[in-house]
Structure 1
């Protein structure tokens, strides 16, 4: 495994011999398949949960906004399960830090889509720029990620383990260091009252360096369980192909479902006379942040709370660097005015 880490697949319980020392090879193979039946069924159910959202996205029928949000929300939940299992299995071949970074990148894709659209709209319409909706959505998402995501992971950890302290491994030190540097840089941006292409160069470069360094960090030994164990039991080529297909499928479902999920929530909010700014800052981020929180919560529930917290920390690094860094590009595409010091007000 890359990065010097090790990963083990949980062993099956001994086959009940009933008078024979060992079962035949065929019997052992049959037992293995039977033991993995439940795991493959779980993967199939997660895929099926995504199907209604895909069909709804393609056909785009006019339905009640609340029902629309429910269908897309279930699709996002199914994709979050697939994303978790795929990333866990990927740790067979790559470092845990890089696997968590991939989780964070895919899970934050809905927020990229929403913020990029709002930044482009601000560039093409000065009135929209004055409303500051792109920044409102981003700050709302950050508030929900830290204010809800981090406590949820700890509460699940406490419920499952009855421990009052969640010890984050030293492997997370790299993420925390980049998060600290990025946070200080981003805090200084409002002092200039603009987010420019120069900030894009700095922040995107920081993200690239983070990915390179993360891929080289040694990983702790991890034991695959559940559906990830079934996927990890496959031969190398089949396992890697399945992991890639799973991650791509989960990413596609999340991207396809997040915007209409948010739209359904916003339309439902408008029915009760909630302002657009409040909807963008509080309701829409529920859609964009839900994949990240769900993935972290699933990891915590499966006894990997430290990895779940690591995924959330990696998401914050992603948001403070690549997400914020790409907003000026979307703004300038909308405005048609390019320059190193041009950017989002």
Structure 2
């Protein structure tokens, strides 16, 4: 059923099935759904939601969300899928629409020989979702290269810019999960890239797969190969990538754990903290490869929860809760889910 048909407003559909719009393939029916393709169309869509008094849910590529069975109001996925480069001396600024596929962007930048985001290859999802989680992998986080973010106010439709510092980035955290949660929609990113070689190869066995002077594309391909070896393809086996954040605990607590588990991976942080590997903790509880009904822990990477089909969000949350309880009971460390839980 089409509710609106106007040149400046995208079609707003009723009872839209979003099961295939999230990589966990959790069943979900959105009361209303739209895919605006321009800033003007997005502004008009938000105005229509305001007029109808519909609550708004913003979606990207669906790779880091847990959807409910029924989603009231209006779900919006902005399809702002253009990107371009601006040159400023030795720096290159990539202006990226929120609807651009992240991995496609990484490959496009690497193919042009620019450095900065090659370690973030094969992370699923749209670019607009990247700042929300401050995505990261292989020793690099988005915040390392993010220059600015353009946002649109949900209530007024006004556009404004936030600098990287104003985004208040943390580990898998940002202002978009806190003060600006449900207040703005991210419409564009500006990333700072470099013409000069600056490979970051200290994570895992990345360096051993490359020569002494790799290109950005060679780094991106090596990262992609590692991820493909360890992580299931969501097109083949439904998953949302890393389901739990790597816990950050006081260094004193980490030292105590190391006295019992000297082989435990650990990474010193600022302010007297230490980051642990959530996948290792789960694996030590004997949970890798475990399956309960529709959900399971991936057989090669314990940090990934997979959906074999026939389950829903509550079933997944119950399964995840049992994992959290077992890790807590053994290590006295609390795991937190990484995906965003969309409230019905």
**TM-score (normalised: structure 1):** 0.23
Q: Which has the higher strand share?
A: 2
Instruction: Give the number of the structure with larger relative contact order, counting CA–CA contacts within 8 Å between residues 6 or more apart.
Output: 1
If you compute each CA radius of gyration, which structure gives the higher value, 1 or 2? 1
Higher helix share: 1
